[in-house]
Amino acid sequence: MDDFPFDVDDIDNEKPSNVKTLQRKSERPSGIALDSLEGLLESYSSSDIRSARRSASLLANPVHQSYPSTPIRQVTKGVAEVGLGGATKTPVVQVPTTSMVVNQTIPNTPTTLQFESRINKNEIITEHIGSCSKKKMINDSDNSVDIQLPSSNASSLYMFQTVLERASVLNKQIEKFEDLYMTTLNIDPDKPFVLYSVGHPESDEVSVVGRICCDSVGQLNEHSIILEGSYHRSTCNRVRVDVSSLDSYSFFPGQIVLISGIYTNDGLFHAKQIIEPTLPPIAPTLTIKNDFTLMVAAGPFLLANGDFSALNELLSRANIDRPTVLILLGPFVDERSSYVQKLTDKTYDEIFHSIINEIKRTCLNVVLIPSVRDIHHDSVYPCYPFQTIDQNSKIMYAPEPCLLSINGLQCAITSTDVLFHLCSEEISSNPVNSDRMSRLTKHLLQQRLFYPLCPPHESISIEYGYAMDYASIPFMPHILITTSDLKQFIKFVDSVCVINTGRLIKSEKIVGGSYSKIFVSKTDSQRSFSSNDHLHVQILRL
């Protein structure tokens, strides 16, 4: 079993100054697992600490006092509830809204000078060149593009689900996987596959389907694994699982699996075999008629002093490379930024409008995807798109997460750091796939959700009713784009090209981050599109 919640090699080599030395925690008695590493990144500190720090900042610098006649908008920042997966409301912060755009010019402060004097600019961090791809990154073809945005939940009301409704949604998810296992394993008419109830002892070896849970408030470990069954088949019974007989396993809270084993007199279910869910169906055969280029970057986009230097540098490179589509992922107005927390002369909406005005100058096709860390936007997951500001611009607004179709290329994109959250919660022993990032990405595809962790990380508030509709992965995309504070990578999981593009600004101490460029080559008449062969992907330093 892994002693640490993630591999040290998964962390970016350029560690920020607030990264502490990894400490080995002693295991607690009574089945309480190893504590997650405290202080790994300040951005993943307790939500209570962040809320207290933000509240103190707002009290010291009340934003609304400068605008006595400005209408007040309520911004609710939810905090996930540990348990069934619900979310509760926290105190409301009142923020003034205005449509006025402020053009700011910031002198060369130390932060700006540090950004301008950074080294290794535009250096390639990692690269993949397909056998059928052309090694070029500047778009010299027609910029015509067909972008199909997913349907959004913009008109939905958040935080109105009762506990019973949330339980019903989570129960239906288990039943959906029961049907999936019955379909995929019931292939021999002479020996039909049978699923048994969880928590109802049988004398023979049986197969049960359920959700992995933890029996305590600590982190999951090999002694605290519980399997929760569905209401229809198991009346929501739970049983403790003994995994000592398994050769290998990889578990995280919220994972739905099929376990074969036997019940014993001590009330345990001794697991003999784990059968993971099958992958979603493959996307239809794709034909790319013309070459096109994508550029992807994830926020934060503002330096610690609120300067636009990093954003302007990215946009200037986009003007040179002329990508067919520029995809920007939030946060745009980051709630963790010290500059945003100390705002006294502008509103959050003004900062966002200023960013939009900078983006408009590129005259490119731009797709904007919000983040749960955007303080000017409702932060309940899944996030609905930003409101359309200019109907005549080339900026399109997509939800978080989303499945984009760009000239037929299916792109699954999320701005939530789900890989880091899974790293902190996953436990494994001799896993079949030793590459942890590939293994965690495959969990997303097998669970068919962008965020399968349940209960979620303390920084995420999930509306499960909408998550099953708007955060699902119904088929295998050609490209899966994630943004994480972990090390950037390009990996191929089955037929999917997985790209962790990193962040444009890594931290307030390390201002130079990374972004990605993806060149998609057209297919010929003898061959259909293949992600491994027809993609040229680069992750570059800003």
Q: What is the pLDDT of residues 287-331, one digit of tens each?
A: 888 899 999 999 999 998 888 999 999 999 999 999 999 999 999
Which pLDDT band holds residue 536 (cuts at 50, 70, 90)? very high
- Where is pLDDT greater, at 463 or 43? 463
Main-chain phi, psi angles of 412, to 5 degrees: -95, 125
Which pLDDT band holds residue 140 (cuts at 50, 70, 90)? low
Rounded distance between C-alpha atoms, residue 503 and residue 12, angstroms: 11
Least Cα distance to 368 among 418, 419, 316, 296 occurs for 296
Question: By the 8 A CB rule, do 257 and 236 touch?
Answer: no
pLDDT surpassing 90 at residue 85: no
Residue written as token pair 């997650």: 36
pLDDT the model gives residue 89: 38
Rounded distance between C-alpha atoms, residue 37 and residue 481, angstroms: 26
User: What residues have CB less than 8 Å from 164, skipping those under 6 apart?
Assistant: none
Rounded distance between C-alpha atoms, residue 378 and residue 423, angstroms: 26
Question: By the 8 A CB rule, do 263 and 433 touch?
Answer: no
Question: By the 8 A CB rule, do 239 and 269 touch?
Answer: yes
Least Cα distance to 126 among 518, 420, 438, 413 occurs for 518
- Please report, as a single letter, which amino acid is at residue 187: I
Rounded distance between C-alpha atoms, residue 116 and residue 93, angstroms: 35
Residue written as token pair 């200023």: 354
Maximum Cα–Cα distance across the chain: 78
| Chain segment 370-397, per-residue pLDDT in tens | 999 999 998 899 999 998 767 667 899 9
Rounded distance between C-alpha atoms, residue 445 and residue 494, angstroms: 10
Rounded distance between C-alpha atoms, residue 328 and residue 296, angstroms: 6
- Phi-psi category of 167—alpha, beta or left, where left has phi over 0 and alpha has psi -120 to 50? alpha
pLDDT surpassing 50 at residue 135: yes
Instruction: Tell me the two tokens of residue 390.
Output: 């200019």
Residue written as token pair 């307790």: 46
Alpha helices in 162-266 (DSSP H): 163-185, 231-234
- Please report, as a single letter, which amino acid is at residue 245: S
Question: By the 8 A CB rule, do 65 and 94 touch?
Answer: no
pLDDT surpassing 90 at residue 152: no
Residue written as token pair 């619900």: 86
- Where is pLDDT greater, at 131 or 418? 418
pLDDT the model gives residue 7: 54
User: What residues have CB less than 8 Å from 414, skipping those under 6 apart?
Assistant: 400, 401, 402, 450, 451, 481, 482, 483
* 491: exposed, middle or buried (Cβ count in 10 Å: 0-12, 13-18, 19+): middle
* 117: exposed, middle or buried (Cβ count in 10 Å: 0-12, 13-18, 19+): exposed
Which pLDDT band holds residue 433 (cuts at 50, 70, 90)? confident
Least Cα distance to 13 among 125, 109, 89 occurs for 125
The DSSP letter of residue 105 is: -
Average pLDDT over residues 484-492: 94
Average pLDDT score, the chain? 81
- Where is pLDDT greater, at 105 or 479? 479
pLDDT the model gives residue 154: 52
Q: 155-159, 207-211, 218-222, 472-476: which has the minimum mean pLDDT?
A: 155-159
Least Cα distance to 366 among 323, 422, 409, 304 occurs for 323
Which pLDDT band holds residue 203 (cuts at 50, 70, 90)? confident
Tell me the HSE value of 14 on the side-chain side, using a 13 A CA sphere. Answer: 19
pLDDT the model gives residue 12: 60
Q: Which domains can be identified in the chain, with CATH numbers? A: 130-159+282-541 (3.60.21.60), 163-275 (2.40.50.140)
**Percent of the chain's residues with pLDDT above 70:** 77
- Where is pLDDT greater, at 112 or 397? 397
pLDDT surpassing 70 at residue 487: yes
Question: By the 8 A CB rule, do 396 and 370 touch?
Answer: no
The continuous run of DSSP H or E covering 342 comes out as: none
Average pLDDT over residues 434-445: 94
Average pLDDT over residues 445-469: 93
What are all long-range contacts of 263-267, with beta carbons under 8 Å and residues at least 24 apart?
A: 263/201, 263/202, 263/206, 263/239, 267/239, 267/240
Question: By the 8 A CB rule, do 537 and 516 touch?
Answer: yes
Which pLDDT band holds residue 252 (cuts at 50, 70, 90)? very high
Cβ atoms < 10 Å from Cβ of 68: 7
Average pLDDT over residues 437-442: 95
Q: What is the DSSP string of 443-474?
A: HHHHHTBS---SSPPTT-EE-HHHHHHHSB--
Which pLDDT band holds residue 335 (cuts at 50, 70, 90)? very high
Which pLDDT band holds residue 509 (cuts at 50, 70, 90)? confident
Which pLDDT band holds residue 156 (cuts at 50, 70, 90)? low
Question: By the 8 A CB rule, do 221 and 266 touch?
Answer: no
- Please report, as a single letter, which amino acid is at residue 214: C
- Where is pLDDT greater, at 7 or 537? 537
Calculate ∠ Cα 12-413-347, nearest 5°. 85
pLDDT surpassing 70 at residue 423: yes
Instruction: Tell me the two tokens of residue 92.
Output: 């409301």
Q: What is the SS3 string spanning 8-22? A: HHHECCCCCCCCCCC
Cβ atoms < 10 Å from Cβ of 472: 17
Rounded distance between C-alpha atoms, residue 518 and residue 297, angstroms: 11
| Chain segment 287-298, per-residue pLDDT in tens | 888 899 999 999
Instruction: Tell me the two tokens of residue 391.
Output: 């109907």
Which pLDDT band holds residue 60 (cuts at 50, 70, 90)? very low
* 278: exposed, middle or buried (Cβ count in 10 Å: 0-12, 13-18, 19+): middle
pLDDT surpassing 50 at residue 224: yes
Classified as helix, coil or strand, 144 is coil
